[in-house]
Chain A
């Protein structure tokens, strides 16, 4: 029981991060109808910018011992701003010139942008080695911005369930951002314009909506959410792998699966998909790990957690290809 609850806590925390990343995939798909493969690299950039910013701030203000409370939020905002600017630049330079090109060209360009970000991130001539600028090819450790404290401990017989401060901060920040996005998309004029552009770009322009600017804002918003997810992720898992590491690729891929499972193009679907994918990943591992290992007397079960995620993707695509909350696209007559 305690094990189960402990894993549930982690699943919810990681799920909220998947959801944040999935939102960026789904918003861009909703508006431009292509998968922005560079999105997961913006997430990585968020984590690494968080590292560089914290290191810089800690040395600049000669902070020793536990960092002050304002540091975390400041680093979060920095990462979001930097990634927002990068998202803006990517859209302007790589995707905007292809507005009228076939979707496949844009998709291939996205893969190219992804490779570019991964490789620039690994560059070996650091401008400032202490700060990892560029990030370099070796792993780094995120400084501790929050004490690794238990906020709540529950006992079940001999076992304990610990809800850590970091988990709570992650979930609260992620949900706050999601609610802010919900308000933006469904309660504001700009949000209505985003949904109109997503429905039909030509007709949105006829309303006097500056379509290119709306697309830019959508990209920047998605990139900022990914940055927040990257930073929050590095709070929970402070060992930062180098920017092109397969761990990052897999995380980005799972968030993409979350967007597809929830119904790509659907903002609420992305949130649902994020939590669902994490639950399946962690619960699958928890439930199956022992059983499988007993049956086959191996210890391969932990490596199977990715399998559950992609198995769910296959099932959803077979049973409801539009995703859980997606609606079928009607072909125009």
Chain B
């Protein structure tokens, strides 16, 4: 049974249909990347999965159990953490407070502390900046904080929305290396990316969205070498 299964998901913003009948599934332990152009519905798909928008039709199953209709904070408790578009850090709070909120619903303080140490191993920069207001961090550091904070919920499934957006090329490399590392530690990842090249490189499987529907899906390496994907998303061919 896949960890996450999305069946026939449709979302409408007023009269505008953003998604029509998206199907996808993420296997335990894998990275699935969702690629596509601006406005294809990638972010909307993530928002519908994590409960931020209510789908007009379809189902989201976590561990085979429907989570559609649950509130976002209830879904987080079931082991799904969503690192939103634009990083979603709380600029008026310190780095330390941001991280603490990541573990908001957890009561296992010893384990939270362990997870904090693990986050500091992944992102040593965060440890240096604990008492600083998160709004004063650079874009790359904010992204690290956003990912680190999401990990503190100890998710089984991590939704990442454009983690490479607006970062310098070298930082993009670092972020993707860390995504692989997090995955190797056992976290299943659903990765939304515009940087299709990097995303297909780290992912196991991929889904291509076009105007709110699935255009292609399959093995990431196979998609990366398919002519259509090369032409439309990898900028050559």
Contact = CB atoms under 8 A, between A and B. Distances in A.
A130 interface: no
A207 B76 contact: yes
A205 B101 CA distance: 10
Nearest to A203: B88
B90 A208 contact: no
Contact of A199 (B52, B84, B86, B91): B91
A199 B104 contact: no
A199 B73 contact: no
A199 B92 contact: yes
A205 B52 contact: yes
Contact of A192 (B50, B51, B100, B149): B100
Contacts of A206: 50, 52, 72-73, 76, 81-82, 84, 88
A211 B101 contact: no
Contacts of A115: none
A153 interface: no
Interface residues of B, number: 26
Interface residues of A, number: 19
A64 interface: no
A195 B98 CA distance: 11
Contacts of B97: 192, 195
Interface in A159-213: 189, 192-193, 195-196, 198-200, 202-211
B105 interface: yes
A6 B71 CA distance: 56
Given A203-B88, A206-B52, A209-B104, A195 B93 contact: yes
B90 A195 contact: yes
Contacts of B177: none
B119 interface: no
A204 B104 CA distance: 10
A102 B11 CA distance: 22
- The interface centre, meaning the residue of A193, A195, A207, A209 with most chain B CB atoms within 10 A of its CB, is A207
Interface of B: 50-52, 71-73, 76-77, 81-82, 84, 86, 88-93, 97, 100-102, 104-105, 149, 153
